[in-house]
C-alpha cells in the first residue's frame, strides 16, 4: 500500500487498484524490467573526431551528460579511441555511498554522419573499457580515413545481470492477506475511538501527532509479531533464512537468489511431515516450480496380475543384470517416477542444479533409506528412475539405460 | 489524476530519485521485510529504481524500417515504426503518418528526411521536449553499401544510402534508430 499512514517500506503487496500494488502486477514489472535490462544499450553517444575529439552527447546507464562520458582520444586521422573507467558508480548505495561496478563493453553499433560525402564508422577493436573506431569518408575515388562525426551505441555488462529476485520478485509471490488495511491506520482508529469525543479528530495538531506516533509504534510491534511468525517456517522466512538453510542442510550456490533458497528450504521442510504420496508431490512441486510435471506412483492390489517388472525368484524370475544376489526382486510398486520438463536453454543450468542436486537431496530425505535414485532423459524431458509411458509403467529399456556402464 | 514526477523517458533526465529512490532508503524502523512472499523491501525497491533509471537513459526513442520509392518516385514507406510513445500497427506512407509518428519525405534516390515533433506526451499527458540524439542507420541490402544519417536539426534527420562506390542506392531500405535527450 502506498502513501500516508501505511506507505512505508516494506511495501505490502495487494490492496485496491487505486491504493495498492498487486503481487501479479509487481511480478510483471519485475520480469519485464529484468528482460529489458538485458538488451538495452549500455551507452549512446555522438563524437566529433578532431585533433581533440569532442563527445557531443552522452547518455549511459551510468548517467546522462558529459561528466559520465568516456575519454576520447585521436590515435591518428580517422582513428578514435574511447576509454571508460574500469568501474563506474551506480545508483545503488551501501551506507549512503554509491557502489562501483565494472564497466564491460561487449559489442557496438556505429554510424558515421554525412558530411558532403558518405561517412562510414567501423569498430576496429573492443575491450571491456576501450573501443577503437575507424572513420572513413568517400573522397571521390576511395574510402579514406577522415575526422568526422559519428554516433554509436554500446552494449554490455555493468550491474550484475538483473533477475526478478533483485526487485524482490519470486515465483510464489502473493497478495498480503494480513495487513490488508495498514496496521498504522487501524491503530490510529483505535486510539481515536479510545480518546472519545473530548479530543479533536482533525488530522492536524498535537492530538493527531501523538496518535500517529503511538499508532506507528504499535504497528511496528504488530509487524514484528507477524515477522516472527513468518520466520517460524521456511516458506515465509527472511531474517532467519540462513538459520533455516543451516538447520535443513539445504544446498546453496552463490548465484542463488534468496527466493530460490527460501523455496528450497520450504520444500525440504515438507519432508518433516512424512513420505505420503501427496506430500512427495507437494514437495517436488514446491522445489521445482513450473519445471515439475507430475509424479507417477505404481498402485494396485491385484497380486495375481502384478504390473510389469515385478519379479521374485522361483516364481517369476527376472533378468540377471538386476540380480543383486539370491535372485531378482523387483516391484514397480516401489518406484516413484518424477517427470520434469526441460526449460529453455538459458535456464538449463539452474534446472540441472535443481534436478541433480536439490531434487536428489530432497528425495533422499523424504524417502526410506533403502531407496536409490537415478535419472534418464527422453525427447519429452527429464525423467527420474525410468521413462514414463502413457499408462505410467516403466519399461525394461529404461532399466537397461540406467545400468551403469 | 496522478502527475508523475520528473520528465518523460525521452528527456533522459531521470535518476533513481525520480522514481522514489534514496541513497539511505531503508525499511521502516530498519527492520527486514515482514513476509518475503508478500512484501517488497527497501533493497529490492532500490535496485528497481536504479535499473529503471539506467534503462531509461539509454533506451532508444525510435526504431524504424524505411523503404524508399525511387522508381515512381514517391514518398518512402515506413514499414515498421516503434516509438517510446507507441508502436505503429501497420506500415504507412511517409507523407501521411498516423498521429504522433514521424513523417518521412523523399529528397532523392536513397535520400530521405525524417521529421519528428519537437515535443511528445507520455500516457499521463506529461509533455517532454524531444531532441534528436545519436542517430544510427543501417542499410538493408543484399549487396554492400551504407546508410548515413545526418542530424539536420533537433527534430530532423536526413538519411542517405550509398553503395560501396558512394553511388546513391535506388529504392534503398534501411533501419534507423534514434536516441533523444537534452
The more confidently predicted of residues A306 and A64 is A64
Q: Count CB-CB contacts under 10 A for residue A104.
A: 16
Question: What is the extent of the structural domain holding B82?
Answer: 62-180
A258 DSSP assignment: H
pLDDT of residue B83: 94
- Could you give the number of structural domains in chain B? 2
Together in a domain, B97 and B163:
yes
In a domain, residue B4? The reply is: no
Asked if B29 lies within 8 A of A23 by C-beta distance, the reply is no
Are the CB atoms for A106 and B136 separated by under 8 Å? no
Together in a domain, B66 and B45:
no
Question: Which pLDDT band holds residue A4 (cuts at 50, 70, 90)?
Answer: low
Q: How would DSSP label each residue in A55-108?
A: EEEEEETTEESGGGSPEEEEEETTEEEEE--SEEEEEEEETTEEEEEE-EEEEE
Are the CB atoms for B155 and B133 separated by under 8 Å? no
Q: Which of helix, strand or coil describes residue A46?
A: strand
Together in a domain, B117 and B92:
yes
Together in a domain, B108 and B152:
yes
Asked whether the predicted pLDDT for residue B69 surpasses 60, the reply is yes
The neighbouring-strand residues paired with A58 are A45
pLDDT of residue A397: 39
Q: Alpha-carbon distance B31 to A223, whole Å? A: 10
In a domain, residue B142? The reply is: yes
The neighbouring-strand residues paired with A280 are none
The pLDDT tens digits of the residues spanning A131-166 come to: 999 999 999 999 999 999 999 999 999 999 899 999
CB pairs under 8 A between A and B: 226
Average of pLDDT values for B108-136? 95
Set of chain A residues whose Cβ sits within 8 Å of the Cβ of B16: 91
Asked whether the predicted pLDDT for residue B17 surpasses 50, the reply is yes
Asked whether the predicted pLDDT for residue B5 surpasses 80, the reply is yes
Together in a domain, B50 and B72:
no
Which one of B24, B38, B150 has the shortest CB-CB distance to A113? Answer: B150
Mean of per-residue pLDDT scores for chain B: 93
Mean of per-residue pLDDT scores for chain A: 85
How many percent of chain B have pLDDT more than 70? 100
Which of B148, B158, B172, B181 is most worth mutating to test chain A (most A CB atoms within 10 A of its CB)? B148
* Residues in contact with A29: Cβ distance below 8 Å, sequence separation at least 6, in sequence order: A167, B48
The more confidently predicted of residues A305 and A80 is A80
Q: Alpha-carbon distance A2 to A15, whole Å? A: 9
pLDDT of residue A2: 56
* Minimal C-alpha gap between B31 and chain A (Å): 8
Together in a domain, B42 and B104:
no
Question: Which pLDDT band holds residue B156 (cuts at 50, 70, 90)?
Answer: very high
Together in a domain, B126 and B150:
yes
Together in a domain, B84 and B153:
yes
Together in a domain, B119 and B153:
yes
Question: Which pLDDT band holds residue A300 (cuts at 50, 70, 90)?
Answer: low
3-state secondary structure A303-347: CCCCCCCCEECCCECCCHHHCCCCCCCECHHHCEEEEECCCCHHH
Question: Which pLDDT band holds residue A5 (cuts at 50, 70, 90)?
Answer: low
Would you call A321 exposed, middle or buried from its count of C-beta atoms within 10 A (0-12, 13-18, 19+)?
exposed
Are the CB atoms for A283 and A267 separated by under 8 Å? yes
A161 DSSP assignment: P
Residue spans of the domains in chain A: they are 43-157, 242-400
Q: Alpha-carbon distance A333 to B158, whole Å? A: 75
Asked whether the predicted pLDDT for residue A236 surpasses 90, the reply is yes
Together in a domain, B34 and B101:
no
Which one of A33, A98, A235 has the shortest CB-CB distance to B52? Answer: A33
pLDDT of residue A345: 65
In a domain, residue B3? The reply is: no
In a domain, residue B100? The reply is: yes
Are the CB atoms for B96 and B59 separated by under 8 Å? no
The pLDDT tens digits of the residues spanning A164-194 come to: 999 999 989 999 999 988 899 999 999 999 9
Asked whether the predicted pLDDT for residue A379 surpasses 50, the reply is no
Asked if A114 lies within 8 A of B55 by C-beta distance, the reply is no
Asked if A59 lies within 8 A of B57 by C-beta distance, the reply is yes
Q: Which of helix, strand or coil describes residue B7?
A: coil
Asked whether the predicted pLDDT for residue A385 surpasses 80, the reply is no
Would you call A404 exposed, middle or buried from its count of C-beta atoms within 10 A (0-12, 13-18, 19+)?
exposed
Give Cα separations from B1 to A13, A18, A361, B17 (angstroms).
22, 11, 54, 21
How many percent of chain A have pLDDT more than 70? 89
Question: Which pLDDT band holds residue A287 (cuts at 50, 70, 90)?
Answer: confident
Average of pLDDT values for A115-122? 96
Would you call A350 exposed, middle or buried from its count of C-beta atoms within 10 A (0-12, 13-18, 19+)?
middle
In a domain, residue B1? The reply is: no
This model's pTM is above 0.80: no
**What is the chain B residue with the closest CA to A262?**
B36
Q: Alpha-carbon distance B110 to A119, whole Å? A: 15
Together in a domain, B14 and B45:
yes
Model ipTM value: 0.87
In a domain, residue B19? The reply is: yes
Please give the sequence-ordered ranges of beta strands (E in DSSP) within A194-333, or none if there are none.
Answer: 292-297
Together in a domain, B18 and B92:
no
Amino acid at each position: 500500500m502506498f502513501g500516508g499512514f501505511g506507505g512505508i517500506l516494506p511495501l505490502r503487496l495487494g490492496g485496491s487498484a487505486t491504493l495498492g500494488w498487486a503481487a501479479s502486477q509487481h511480478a510483471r514489472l519485475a520480469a519485464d524490467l529484468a528482460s529489458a535490462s538485458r538488451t538495452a544499450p549500455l551507452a549512446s553517444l555522438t563524437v566529433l573526431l578532431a585533433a581533440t575529439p569532442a563527445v557531443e552527447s552522452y547518455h549511459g546507464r551510468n548517467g546522462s551528460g558529459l561528466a559520465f562520458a568516456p575519454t576520447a582520444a585521436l590515435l591518428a586521422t580517422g582513428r578514435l579511441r574511447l576509454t571508460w573507467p574500469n568501474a563506474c558508480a551506480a545508483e545503488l548505495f551501501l551506507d549512503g555511498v554509491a557502489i562501483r561496478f565494472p564497466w564491460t563493453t561487449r559489442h557496438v553499433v556505429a554510424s558515421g554522419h554525412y558530411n558532403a560525402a558518405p561517412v562510414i564508422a567501423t569498430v576496429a577493436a573492443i575491450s571491456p573499457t576501450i573501443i577503437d573506431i575507424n572513420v572513413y569518408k568517400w573522397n571521390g575515388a576511395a574510402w579514406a580515413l577522415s575526422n568526422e562525426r559519428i554516433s554509436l551505441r554500446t552494449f554490455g555488462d555493468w550491474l550484475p545481470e538483473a533477475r526478478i529476485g533483485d526487485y524482490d520478485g519470486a515465483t510464489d509471490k502473493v497478495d498480503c492477506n494480513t495487513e490488508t488495511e495498514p496496521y498504522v491506520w487501524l491503530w490510529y482508529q483505535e486510539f481515536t475511538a479510545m480518546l472519545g469525543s473530548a479530543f479533536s479528530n482533525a488530522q492536524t495538531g498535537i492530538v493527531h501527532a501523538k496518535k500517529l506516533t503511538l499508532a506507528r509504534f504499535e504497528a511496528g510491534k504488530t509487524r514484528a509479531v507477524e515477522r516472527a511468525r513468518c520466520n517460524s517456517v521456511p516458506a515465509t522466512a527472511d531474517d532467519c533464512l540462513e538459520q533455516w538453510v543451516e538447520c535443513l542442510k539445504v544446498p546453496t550456490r552463490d548465484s542463488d537468489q534468496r527466493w530460490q533458497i527460501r523455496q528450497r528450504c520450504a520444500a525440504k521442510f515438507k519432508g518433516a511431515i512424512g513420505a505420503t504420496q501427496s506430500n512427495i508431490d507437494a514437495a517436488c512441486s514446491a522445489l521445482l516450480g513450473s519445471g515439475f510435471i507430475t509424479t507417477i506412483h505404481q498402485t494396485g492390489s491385484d497380486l495375481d496380475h502384478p504390473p510389469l517388472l515385478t519379479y521374485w525368484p522361483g516364481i517369476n524370475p527376472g533378468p540377471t543384470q538386476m540380480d543383486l544376489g539370491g535372485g531378482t526382486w523387483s516391484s514397480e510398486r516401489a518406484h516413484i517416477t518424477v517427470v520434469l520438463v526441460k526449460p529453455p536453454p538459458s535456464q538449463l543450468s539452474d534446472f540441472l542444479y535443481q534436478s541433480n542436486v536439490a531434487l536428489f537431496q530432497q528425495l533422499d530425505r523424504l524417502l526410506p533409506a533403502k531407496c536409490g535414485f537415478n535419472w534418464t532423459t527422453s525427447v519429452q524431458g527429464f525423467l527420474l528412475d525410468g521413462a514414463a509411458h502413457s499408462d505410467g509403467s516403466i519399461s525394461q529399456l529404461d532399466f537397461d539405460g540406467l545400468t551403469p556402464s | 489524476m496522478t502527475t508523475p514526477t520528473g520528465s518523460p523517458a525521452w528527456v533522459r533526465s531521470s535518476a533513481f530519485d525520480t522514481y522514489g529512490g534514496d541513497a539511505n532508503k531503508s525499511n521502516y524502523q530498519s527492520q527486514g521485510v515482514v513476509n518475503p512472499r508478500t512484501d517488497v523491501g527497501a533493497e529490492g525497491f532500490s535496485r528497481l529504481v536504479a535499473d529503471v533509471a539506467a534503462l531509461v537513459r539509454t533506451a532508444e526513442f525510435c526504431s524504424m524500417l524505411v523503404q524508399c520509392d525511387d522508381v515512381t518516385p514517391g514518398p518512402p514507406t515506413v514499414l515498421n515504426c516503434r516509438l517510446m510513445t507507441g508502436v505503429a500497427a501497420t506500415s504507412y506512407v511517409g507523407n501521411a503518418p498516423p498521429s504522433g509518428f514521424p513523417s518521412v519525405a523523399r529528397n532523392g534516390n536513397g535520400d530521405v528526411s525524417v521529421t519528428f515533433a519537437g515535443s511528445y506526451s507520455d500516457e499521463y499527458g506529461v509533455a517532454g521536449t524531444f531532441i534528436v540524439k545519436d542517430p544510427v542507420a543501417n542499410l538493408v541490402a543484399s549487396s554492400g553499401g551504407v546508410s548515413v544519417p545526418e542530424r539536420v536539426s533537433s527534430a530532423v534527420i536526413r538519411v542517405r544510402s550509398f553503395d560501396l562506390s558512394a553511388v546513391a542506392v535506388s529504392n534503398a531500405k534501411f533501419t534507423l534508430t534514434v536516441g533523444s535527450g537534452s
